[in-house]
A and B are shown apart, each in its own frame.
Chain A
Amino acid sequence: MAGTEIHRRLKWVVAEVVDLIDETPSVRSIVLFCPDWPGHLAGQHIDIRLTAEDGYQAQRSYSIASPPDGERLTITVERVEDGEVSSFLLDELRIGDRFEIRGPIGGYFVWDPDLGGPLQLIGGGSGVVPLMAMLRTRVVRGSSVPVRWLSSHRSYDEIIYREELDAYSRLDGVEIVITLTRSHPEGWPGPTRRVDRAMLEEHAWAAEDRPLCYVCGPTGFVETVADTLVELGHPAERVRTERFGPTGGRL
Chain B
Amino acid sequence: MTFVTRGFRGRRQTDAPAGRVPPGQYVTEDFPVLSAGPTPRISLEDWHLRLVDKHGNERRWDWARFQALETETITVDIHCVTKWSKLDTTWQGVSVDTLLAGIEDPGAHVLIRSFGGYTTNLPTADVTGGKAWVVFDYEGKPLTPEHGGPARLLVPHLYFWKSAKWVSDLEFADVDRRGFWESYGYHNYGDPWREQRYTDD
Using a CB–CB distance below 8 Å, which chain A residues touch chain B?
1, 3-10, 14, 47, 50-53, 55-61, 84, 88, 92-94, 97-100, 102, 105-109, 219, 223, 226-227, 229-230, 236-237, 239-241, 243-251
Contact A241 B10 (CB under 8 A): no
With contacts A51-B3, A236-B116 taken as known, whether A107 is within 8 angstroms of B10 at the C-beta atoms is no
Closest CB in chain B relative to A33 CB, distance in Å: 15
When the two chains form their complex, are residues A1 and B8 in contact, meaning their CB atoms are under 8 A apart?
no
The chain B residues found within 8 Å of chain A, CB to CB, are 2-12, 24, 26, 28, 30-41, 80, 82-84, 116-118, 146, 180, 183-185, 197-201
A251 x B34 contact (CB < 8 A): yes
Contact indicator A56/B10 (Cβ below 8 Å): yes
B-chain residues with CB within 8 Å of residue A93 when the two chains form the complex: 7
Name the B residues within 8 Å of A107 (CB-CB): 183-185
CA distance A109 to B36 in the complex (A): 7
* Contact partners of B31 in chain A: CB under 8 A: 245
Interchain nearest-CB distance for B175 vs A (Å): 17
A195 CB to nearest chain B CB (Å): 14
Q: Is the CB of B199 within 8 A of A7?
A: yes
Nearest residue, chain B, Cβ from A241: B37
Q: B3 contacts A226, CB within 8 Å?
A: no
Across-interface contacts of B183 in A (CB, < 8 A): 3, 5, 107
Q: Which residues of B contact A9 (CB under 8 A)?
A: 198-201
State the CA gap A54–B24 with chains docked (Å).
Answer: 16
Contact A236 B2 (CB under 8 A): no
CB of B26 within 8 A of CB of A58, answer yes
B35 touches A241 (CB 8 A): yes
Assuming the contacts A226-B38, A245-B30, asked whether A99 and B5 have C-beta atoms less than 8 A apart, the reply is: yes
Apart from A236-B37, A245-B33, 11 more pairs, CB < 8 Å? A10-B201, A47-B197, A53-B4, A59-B24, A84-B26, A108-B36, A226-B39, A236-B117, A237-B37, A241-B36, A251-B32
The interface residues of chain A lying within 8 Å CB-to-CB of B24 are 57, 59
Considering the chains assembled together, what is the distance between the CA atoms of A246 and B29 in angstroms?
A: 10
* Closest A-B pairs by Cβ, 6 of them: A245-B32, A6-B185, A107-B184, A226-B38, A9-B200, A247-B28
Supply 9 A–B pairs (Cβ within 8 Å), ascending by A: A9-B199, A52-B10, A98-B3, A105-B185, A107-B184, A239-B38, A245-B33, A246-B30, A248-B26
**Complex partner residue of B8 from A14, A92, A102, A248, CB under 8 angstroms:** A92
Residue among B32, B38, B200 with the most chain A CB within 10 A? Answer: B38
C-alpha gap A247/B34 in the complex (Å)? 13
Smallest CB separation, A176 vs chain B (Å): 24
Partner of A84, one of B10, B32, B35, B38: B10
